[in-house]
Chains A and B, each alone.
Chain A
Amino acid sequence: MKRLVVLLLLLAPGLLPCMAQTPLFRGRAANEYNFPYNGNFFWSSPEFRPGTVRFDGVTYNGVMLNINAHTGDLMVRESEFSTPVVPERSQVAWFEIDGLLYVNLRDAGIEDAPEGFFAVLQDGRSTYYWQRTKLFVREPGNHNGVRGIGYDDPRYRENIIAYFHCRDQYYCFRRGVFKKVGKHSVRRAGKTVSAPFLPSGASFSSDKGCERIVGTASPSLRNLPGQQELPAGFFSDESLSSARSAALAAIEQENLIASYRNKIYEIGVPGRSEGPFKVEGVVRNVAGGAPLATVFVSPEGGGGYDYTDADGHYSITLRKGENTLIFNEYSMEEMRIRVVVRGDGGLDVVMREKVTALKSAYVSAEGMAEHRRTAMGVEKINSGLAGHIPSAFGEADILKAVLTLPGVKTVGEASGGFNVRGGASDQNLILFNEGTIYNPSHLFGIFSAFNNDVVDGAELYKSSIPAQYGGRISSVLDINTREGDMKRIRGALGIGLLTGHLSLEGPIVKDRTSFLLGGRTSYSDWMLRRLPASSGYSGGSASFSDVNLSVTHRFDDVNSLQAGGYWSRDGFSFRGDTTFRYSNLDFSLIWKHRAPEGRSWKVSAGFDRYSNSLAAGASASSRDGYNLSTVIRQGFAKASFSESLGAHNLSYGADAVFYALSPGILSPTGESLVVPRSLALETALEPSLYVSDSWTPGGGPLSLDMGVRLSSFLSFAPSKFYATPEFRLSAKYSPSGRLSFKAGLNTMSQYIHLISNTSSISPMDTWRLSGESIKPQRGWQAAAGVYWTVFGGSLDISLEGYWKRMYNILDYKSGAVLSMNEHLADDLVRADGRAYGVELMLRKQTGRLTGWIAYTWSRSLLREEEGRGAAAINGGAWYNAPHDKPHDIKLVANYKFTHRYSISCNLDYSTGRPVTIPVGQYMYGDALRLVYSERNAYRIPDYFRLDLALNIEPGHYFKALAHMSATIGCYNVTGRKNAYSVYYTTNGGTQLKGYMVSVFATPIPYATLNLKF
C-alpha cells in the first residue's frame, strides 16, 4: 500500500492533468546546454523576472518567469534557488513579464501562427506580434557564412563551436489572417517612434493593413487579459521605465549575439597533449581584406605574443583551454576573441579601422611587445603613424617616420639616405615588395620614394636581423604595399605644396582579385619657372614622379599571388648645361601559401633596375658634351618556409640575387668629341641558404632565437667566390610580463658597395660589386638591453647598448676619381669601422598623449686598414665617420583633442656631423689656396628642429561618398638655420669666406588636403 502511495505521488504531475488542474511548477526540467557556446538562449536576459502567467486556465501572479527562445518554451521558477521547469506550452495561454504580454497564438487556435510565444506590441492603431527565436548554430572549422570574426567577411575560416543566433520576426492580422510583416514603422500619436528595442537594421514602416486587436476583438484571443494596449510610454524615447530599459538593453545585447565578441572559437583537434599549442593565422583589414602588418597579438594576462608580419601572419603559443586573444594595432579597433585551444591550429581575423570609437580605443601595444619579442632592435611603423609625424611640405612619409626612431640618423636634412647604428647609408637593405631600392629619395631627399597611399607598413631591423635577410651589414628596412580593396572601388587624392598624389584600388574579381594603383608627381618645375631670376633657381628644374601598381589574386584561403610594380624617375638641373636623372624600376611576383596546420611558405621572384645619369654640355654644338650613366639590374628569387614543431618555430629557405651592374657608360652628345666608353659589365650571383628557430623552452621566461645563414657570392669575369656563415642569435629573459632582458649577436656580409665621396646619396654615386679587388664588407654587432613597462603599462622604458665592428668598408683616397675609373680599386682604400652606443627610449602609447622620446649616445669611427703610412687617411688613426653624431634626441608626440582633431610634434636634436674644413691658406701665384684639416676632424653646428602639425581626420559618416582630411603644419617652427654643410671658397679671388648651406632655413608652413572616396 505504501508503495502505491509513493508511486502515485511520483506520477502526480502526469496524473494531474487528469485531475482538476495541473500545477504550474511541475513539468520537465529546463534544457541545459553543457557545452561551450556563446550568447544565450533566453528571449532577453538570463535573469528570471516576476510576472503573471495564465496556465491551464489559472492565472498565477508573482511567478518568476523567463523564456527559452531556442525551444520557444516558457520557464518558470518557484524561487531564486529552485530549478527552472518548463510548463507544457499548450497549456500556457499567455504570460506577462515586465509589463510585456506574451501570447501562445498557435494553441489559441491561430493555425497560421508558428509555435511559440509572441510578444504583443501596439502602437495605438495596430497590433503586432513579435517572436524571437534563438537559433543554435554550430560551425566547427567551416567557413563562416554570415558573420566573420570581427566583422562581416565570409572569406575567412574560423573555428566556431556554438553560438545562438538571434532572429526576430513580426506578425500581424490582416483581414483576419495572421501574416508576417517585414520592416515596420510604428506610428503613435502621429510621430514615428524610433524603435531601439528592435534589432539593428530593422525599422517599422507604417502598415495600415494591420489590425488593431483590442480586448476580445479577435475570437482567437478571447482568453487574453483585458490589457492589450502597450503600456503608456512604451515607445517613448524619454520615459522608458527601468524595466523597459533593461529589456531594451538586453535586446540590444542580443542583437550582437553573432558578433565575434559573443563567440568562442575552438582551435585545434582535442588530444592528449597538454600544450602549449601554437596558434597562427592571418589578420586582415575588413575594408578590402588586405593583410595587416604590425598588429600586436597576445593573450590576455601575458604569455606568448607576436606581431603580424607584412603578410598579416602571426604565430603565438597559447596554453590549453580557454584564452582571450587580444589583437591590437594603432589604427585598428582592438579585438578580444575568446578561444578554446585544444591543439595547434589557426585563427584568421579581420579587423576594422578605428573610426568611431577613439574615446575608448587602446592605442597601441608596441612597447609591450618588447617583453614578448626575443629579437632586439626591431621597429615597426605603419603608414597611419607616418601620417601623423610632421614632415617637410606635409607629405606623409614612412621613411621620414623611420628617421624619428632611436639609432636611426639622417644623412642630411634633405637627404634620402639614413644611417643605422653607425653604419653607412649603403649598408641598409631597403626592400620594397621584396625588390631592392637603391635610391630611396625624391627631390634631393625632401620626399622618399615610397607613396604613403599605397604603403602598408615598414619594419626596420637594426640589430637582430632575421636570418631570411642578408646582403647588408647594418640594417634591413622592409616596406610593403597594401593589397587593393577586394570589395569596392576606393581611392585617395591629395594635394600638397609641391606634390600631388592619387591612388585607386578595388576589386577586379570581387573577393578574389584586386588592384592598387598609386601615383605621385611634383609640380616643382612649374613653381621654379615662376621664381624671380634673382633667386638663382629660375632657370632650373626639379621634378619627380612615381607609380605603384599591385594586383593580388587569392586562389583560395591559403594561396595568394601578388604582382607588384614600381617605377619612379627624378630629374633636376640648376645649371643650364648639367642635368641629373635617376630612375627606379621594380617588379615582383609573390606567391604566399599559409596552411592551417601551421606551415607556410612564400616564393617570390622579381626584377629591379636602378639607373642614374648626368648630362653635361647639353648644347648641340658643345664639343665636350656627354652623358654619363650607371645601371644596376638584378633579378632575384626567394623561397621561405616556416612551420611549428611544438615549442619550436622553424624557418628555413633560400634566395639568390643575380646582379648585372654597369658601373659607367659614357656617351657623347651632339657634336661632342667625347669618345663613347663603357666600364666592364659586372655580373655576379649571390645565393644564400638559411635556417632559424624560435624556441621558448617550456613556455618559461627564457626564449631564444637562433639562426644561421650561409651567405655566398660568385663574381663572374673575373671569377671570384666568397662564402661565409652568418649567425643570428638573440635571447630574452622575462622575469615578469613587464620586465625583460635581452642580448643578441649578429654577423653580416655585404657584396655590393656604394662608391661615393659625398656625405649624401648623390645621383651620381656608383655601386660596385665585390670581386677580385673589392672584398666583401663584413660586420658583427653585439647588443644588450633592458625593457621595463611602468605605470600600468602606459609607459615603456627601454635601454639598449650595442657594439659593432665593420671590416672592408670602402673609403676613397684623397683625390680619388670615382667616376668612369677602370682602376677604381686603386683609388679606394679599405677601412674598418667600429660603432658603439646606448639608446634610451620612453614611449607612451595610451591616453590622449602618445609618442616617444629617445636619447642616443653613440660613436662611429673608421680607420684605414691598408697601412699606407703617412699617406693613409689621417695617418692611419681612427677618424670620425661622416655620420658620427654622438648626441641625438628625438621627440615624437601626438595629442588628441577629439577623435578628429590632434596636434603632432616632432623635435630633433643631434650633434653636428663631422666635416673636413680648411685650417690653413696660402698663395699659389695670385690665387688663394686652402689646406684642409684631417678628414672629418671638425663638425658642423648642432642640428635642432621643431615641427608642429594640426591633423584633422575625416568625419565618421559611413555613408558619405568621400572623406576629407587635412594637415596644417609648420616645419622648422623656430626657423633655425641648420647647417647642411659648411664650405670655404675663394671664389677665384684672394679672399677666403666661409659659408653654411641651410636647406630649410625658415619656418615652412604647409597644408595638405587628402580626400578618400
Chain B
Amino acid sequence: MKKILAYILLVLAASGCIYPFDAGIVPESGIRPVTVSGDILIGSVTEIGLGFVYPVGTPEGEMRRKTPSGSVTVINDRGDSYKGVKSGAGLYRIDTSAAPEDALYRLEIRLDDGREFRTPWTGVQEAPAIENLKFEVSDGTVRMLADLGGRDSLQFFRIDFEETWEYHADFVPDLMYLPGLPSADRENPQKIYRPRQADEDYYYCWNTASSAEPFTASSEELSENRLVSACFHSLPNTDTKFSVLYSVLVSARGMSERAYRYHYQVRSNSNATGDLFSPTPSELPGNIECVGNPSETVVGYVDAVCLAQARLYVPSNVYRETRNPESELYYPFPDEDGMYNFESLFARDAPVFCDDEIPTKTNVSWAPKRCTDCRLSGGSKNKPEWWPNDHR
C-alpha cells in the first residue's frame, strides 16, 4: 500500500512542471526604443540611466555598454537648469541637491542623433518619514521591516536600499609563499615560505550592494497613510552577510499614483507571470515623450521626489554558521615522481599554518585562497567611514 501511495504521489508531484521555453523570436532590426531610468531626486544627486530596448537574450554587458549618448538636464519652472555629467555608459549624475522642493521639474534629454525627449512638468513628491526600521528572524529568514509615515496625501511608497556588510576570511595565514624561486629551491621548505607581514591582512572585508528591485507599496486600502512593518528585504540567516555585521541604508520616497502603477506593472510583467491565474502581461505608457514625434516609443517613468534615509544594523547573532572551513584545509602531497609542485599549488591555494616551528614539505596546511583572502569573495578592504567597529 505504501508503494502504491508513493507512486501516486510521485505521479502527482511530477505531473505539473515548469520547463525552459524558447519562443525562437527573431530580433527585429530597426530603431530600438530608448529607455530612461531614475527619478529626479530633489535634495540629493539625481542619477539617470539611458539605454535601449534590446532583443530578448542580449547579454547584460552588451546592454550596459551600448547606450545612447547625449546630454541630460533637469530644469524647473523657475528657469533653473541642472545639467548632468556622464558618469559611465549611459549614466548621468545631476547635482540636484540644492534644487527647491516647491518647484515643478522636468527632465530633458538630447541625444547625439538629434532626438529629444522630455517629461511633463511634475511636482515634487514629498518624502515619507521613516518612523522605524527593525528586523525579525523567523523560519530561518531575517526579514527587514520598515514603518513609513506618510503625509496625508501620500499613498504610494518606494523603498530602495543599499546594504553594506563586514565579513572575514576563514583563516589568517602564518606563512606566505614565495613564488618565482629558482627551480632548485622550489621544493625547499625553508626557502619557499616566509612569515606574513602586518600589512598582509586580508581577514576583514566590507562589501556593498544596492537593491535591484525597489520595494513599492500602497496604503490605498489602509486606514492610515502609513506602512507598518513593511518587509522591504529578507535574507536567509545563513547568509554570510550576517557573519560579522550587516547594515542596510533605506531610502524611502513617495510616488505619484501613475508612477506607482507604471512600476508595478513593469515589475509584474518581469517577475509575476506564469501562475495559473496570472494576469496577461500588458504594457503601460510611461511619461516620457519624444519631442516632435509623440508616436515614438520611449520606455520609462521619471518622477520628481525627495528622499528620506535611515540605516539599520543587524548583528551577527542572527547568523547561523553552516560551513566548516576546517574541512578546506589539506597538506601537500607528492606527485607520482615524488615531487611537490608548490608553484602550481600556489596558483590556487595558499599556505596557512605550520604545525611546527620549522616548516617542512608536509607540515604546512594549505587552503584555497578564497579562505585566506576576503577580497576574493567580492568585498574590499575599504572600510566605510561610518562603520561602527574598529576592525581593519
Contacts and interface: CB of A to CB of B under 8 A. Distances in A.
A729 interface: no
Interface in A900-928: 915-928
B9 A990 contact: no
Contacts of A764: 277
A587 interface: no
Contacts of A216: none
Nearest to A666: B221
B172 interface: no
B31 interface: no
B5 interface: yes
Interface in A925-976: 925-932, 935, 938
Interface stretch (B107-115, B182-190, B278-286, B368-376): B278-286
A527 B12 contact: yes
Interface in B290-307: 295, 299-300
B239 to A, nearest CB: 15
B37 A925 contact: yes
A917 B57 CA distance: 13
A923 B57 contact: no
Given A626-B221, A677-B221, A995-B274, A932 B269 contact: yes
Interface residues of B, number: 70
B276 interface: yes
Contacts of B229: 623
Contacts of B210: 925-926
Interface residues of A, number: 82
Given A919-B56, A923-B64, A926-B210, A985 B271 contact: yes
Interface in A733-775: 757-760, 762-764
Nearest to B90: A923
A687 interface: no
Contacts of A817: 261
A920 B273 contact: no
A757 B280 contact: yes
Interface string B206-241: 000011111000000111100011000000000000
Interface stretch (B14-22, B69-77, B194-202, B352-360): B14-22
Contact of B20 (A922, A931, A995): A995
Interface stretch (A8-16, A708-716, A1001-1009): A1001-1009
B179 interface: no
Contacts of A998: 16-19
A799 interface: no
A43 B14 CA distance: 72
A815 B261 contact: yes
A531 B11 contact: no
B9 A530 contact: yes
B295 A870 contact: yes
A757 B269 CA distance: 13
Given A757-B279, A979-B21, A996-B19, A921 B54 contact: yes
A923 B283 CA distance: 16
A626 B11 CA distance: 35
A922 B222 contact: no
B129 interface: no
Contact of A1001 (B19, B23, B52): B19
Nearest to A920: B53
A981 interface: yes
A675 B221 contact: yes
A814 interface: yes
A2 interface: no
B262 interface: yes
Contacts of A820: 221
Contact of A537 (B5, B13, B295): B13
Contact of B15 (A624, A931, A997, A1002): A1002
Contacts of A920: 32-33, 53-56
Contacts of B13: 531-532, 535, 537
Q: Name the residue among A757, A928, A983, A998 with the largest chain B CB count within 10 angstroms.
A: A983
Contacts of A987: 271
A988 B282 contact: no
B35 interface: yes
B125 to A, nearest CB: 18
Given A922-B54, A983-B273, A673 B261 contact: no
Contacts of A926: 210-212
Given A921-B56, A995-B21, A981 B274 contact: yes
B262 A815 contact: yes
B277 A982 contact: no
Given A919-B55, A922-B53, A927-B213, A985 B270 contact: yes
Nearest to B139: A576
Interface in B119-175: none
> Among the interface residues A820, A927, A982, A1001, which one has the most CB atoms of the partner chain B within 10 A?
A927
B277 A762 contact: yes
A414 B17 CA distance: 13
B148 to A, nearest CB: 12
A994 interface: yes
Nearest to A764: B277
Contacts of A925: 37-38, 49, 210, 212, 214
A921 B19 contact: no
Contact of B276 (A444, A931, A932, A989): A444
B45 interface: no
Interface of B: 5, 8-9, 11-23, 25, 28, 32-33, 35, 37-38, 49, 51-58, 60, 63-64, 210-214, 221-224, 228-229, 261-262, 264-267, 269-271, 273-274, 276-285, 295, 299-300
6 contacts: A675-B223, A760-B276, A812-B282, A916-B281, A924-B35, A996-B19
Top 5 closest A-B pairs, CB basis? A983-B274, A814-B282, A996-B21, A983-B273, A762-B277
Given A981-B273, A996-B21, 10 more contacts: A673-B222, A758-B277, A815-B265, A921-B55, A922-B35, A923-B63, A929-B299, A986-B270, A993-B20, A1002-B14
Interface of A: 414, 444, 497-498, 527, 530-532, 535, 537, 623-624, 626, 666, 673-675, 677, 757-760, 762-764, 812-817, 820, 870-871, 882, 915-932, 935, 938, 977, 979-1002, 1004-1005
